[in-house]
Structure 1
């Protein structure tokens, strides 16, 4: 009797833990220590759950005494894996299709370069191949960004360069953004504030006619930075305010972490909506490049306000050996009107 009661308690506790890890938003724990890390890797969690389910099932077949408990645990792990798989399926395992872009469209490329590790030629080649009008480069110094712009100009694609560096000690504390000369001149908004630990660049069009451009680098949820990580997401949600904003970069956060930070049910952060979610690419991992994309964490994003319609988005998986631990992402946007 006591053994059955103990088994029931164990199953209830495990079920509760797995429910929190599968859908922490239900309890408002999506930004909690530990939970935030597990939910970042839903695919890995599902694979581990299936592995444990198989092990428990085999043990249960070999030994009679714990069979009911192990069978119950196996069922819970299977349900946990299925929930994660369902969430990932809804978000999309990859969709490279795109509509034809017109002259009024804008192409956005974003790549965390891990402190200038990929060559300027590599970055410029991708930007030119994709026809990028906006290139956001977290962990990229002004010197590297200028070198990229020189290479692009030589190919008939002149770009303006803007950089914010919190210091010159670590390249990770620089964020750069390149904007096509065709978009007009931009100036940095130095009054809006910034993300806490790593810099974000906010550009406003000088003539007021183009989109506000935000090149993002929020800090990762590592020990000692959790409060700053949460504050960064809140700040980014507030920064995406208005009817014409494009925001891209390394958010160090998945869609789960951003739950509740959109102004409406259709937006992700503030007034901005995630392009990967809109195109069926939101389950494709952008970090790290050392594991397959479908097992990785989708923490890099391109977002835009509702005046932009997403006609294509991709996670570029052919640059995993270029040196960065992040994958480049690209999105094509078209005016919604």
Structure 2
């Protein structure tokens, strides 16, 4: 390469740097639109990426910083490339910092205040096919004293007699990997509907006396595949939405979906009750995880408190969540 060829190549590199920076800015805008307004909320792999804002923004920031570094290597027309890439890098850094600051922190179970009179406490936990044994489940339940416990990836038929903590009644459906524990001071429930399609796991509990207690939709939906197939998860979301047409309904479980996958945070008449810190995977900081475990409720209910729990010695790959609900 002659001394005259290198400056020419630098000049040709400048537009590519600017195009790369513009592309990153456009992707960031589209992603924010998906997060805030449900744009392309269930579309292919984009719907899965919506679950990981910290990871996505950190990745885009790293790419933008590389472009900025390349711009620093230019001499002629350096200011144009450096300004364009620098502005995008600063913007992405701000977005990442805002995401980190706005994200709720996970708390220890002991830091959750006692449930107040008139509140209904719902605990949700994916226990990874028994990775969390009866003792660890009972310890968390004993600390929080929830009214309703939804345990994903736990078959009710696999429970032994001493696996159900004192003061609770277990409910489940054969072949569906979700178990519900209800405090025995609540009215008795019965299973009124279960998804037997094999495309999702879930069932509905209704009080034996109509109106005596809220209906419970307990679910563990199919995850988005690595090839981007969202049909199973979307079938499950629609199944939940169909059961949210009934009043006085609470939904809880591992939905393998975040509120951004539910435009306006809604499934039928059910709405997310609050913002949970990311729950999965439990081995990474919440900033880089996904809030795929959720609680939703129909308009009869408000949330007094929601929290994602940081459990010491956790064995499953999901952090548990807790919500204190109050009737309007």
Q: Does 1:184 align with 2:184?
A: no
Structure 2 match to 1:170: none
User: 1:199 Cα deviation (Å)?
Assistant: 1.1
How far apart, in 2, do the equivalents of 1:188 and 1:70 lie? 63
Three-state SS of the structure 1 residue aligned to 2:274 is: helix
- The answer to whether the 8 A contact 2:107-2:310 is kept is no
How far apart, in 1, do the equivalents of 2:244 and 2:97 lie? 30
Structure 2 match to 1:40: 51
- Per-residue CA deviation, residues 5-45 of structure 1 (Å, 9 max, x unaligned), is 66665554443333223323668312222212222110112
- The answer to whether the 8 A contact 1:288-1:326 is kept is yes
Q: Does 1:312 align with 2:305?
A: yes
User: 1:117 Cα deviation (Å)?
Assistant: 0.9
How far apart, in 2, do the equivalents of 1:51 and 1:303 lie? 35
Three-state SS of the structure 2 residue aligned to 1:178 is: strand
Three-state SS of the structure 2 residue aligned to 1:221 is: coil
Which of residues 115, 137, 143 is equivalent to 1:129?
A: 143
How far apart, in 1, do the equivalents of 2:73 and 2:14 lie? 19
Structure 2 match to 1:239: 243
User: 1:241 Cα deviation (Å)?
Assistant: 2.2
Report the RMSD for the aligned CA atoms in angstroms: 2.9
- The answer to whether the 8 A contact 1:196-1:218 is kept is no
Structure 2 match to 1:269: 267
Comparing 128-137 with 100-109, which one deviates more in the overlay?
Answer: 100-109
Q: Does 1:335 align with 2:327?
A: yes
User: CA, structure 1 residues 149+211, in 2 after alignment: closer, same or farther (shift >3 Å)?
Assistant: farther
How far apart, in 2, do the equivalents of 1:3 and 1:226 lie? 39
Structure 1 match to 2:224: 221
For these two proteins, the number of residue pairs brought into alignment is 312
Q: Does 1:201 align with 2:203?
A: yes
Structure 2 match to 1:73: 85
- The answer to whether the 8 A contact 1:218-1:229 is kept is yes
Q: Which runs of 5+ in 2 are unaligned?
A: 1-10
How far apart, in 2, do the equivalents of 1:27 and 1:66 lie? 40
- Per-residue CA deviation, residues 44-91 of structure 1 (Å, 9 max, x unaligned), is 122223333333333322333584345423423443453455466556
- The answer to whether the 8 A contact 2:189-2:205 is kept is yes
- Per-residue CA deviation, residues 166-196 of structure 1 (Å, 9 max, x unaligned), is 3xxxxxx511111111111111013x64675
User: CA, structure 1 residues 63+3, in 2 after alignment: closer, same or farther (shift >3 Å)?
Assistant: closer
User: 1:99 Cα deviation (Å)?
Assistant: 7.2
- The answer to whether the 8 A contact 2:153-2:178 is kept is yes
Structure-2-length-normalised TM-score: 0.83
How far apart, in 2, do the equivalents of 1:148 and 1:59 lie? 63
Comparing 78-87 with 197-206, which one deviates more in the overlay?
Answer: 78-87
- The answer to whether the 8 A contact 2:251-2:296 is kept is yes
Structure 2 match to 1:60: 71
Q: Which runs of 5+ in 1 are unaligned?
A: 167-172, 261-266
- The answer to whether the 8 A contact 1:121-1:148 is kept is no
Q: Does 1:16 align with 2:26?
A: yes
How far apart, in 1, do the equivalents of 2:49 and 2:217 lie? 28
- Per-residue CA deviation, residues 192-212 of structure 1 (Å, 9 max, x unaligned), is 646752311210000111100
Three-state SS of the structure 1 residue aligned to 2:44 is: coil
- The answer to whether the 8 A contact 1:216-1:250 is kept is yes
- The answer to whether the 8 A contact 2:100-2:287 is kept is no
Structure 2 match to 1:162: 171
User: CA, structure 1 residues 215+146, in 2 after alignment: closer, same or farther (shift >3 Å)?
Assistant: farther
User: 1:149 Cα deviation (Å)?
Assistant: 4.9
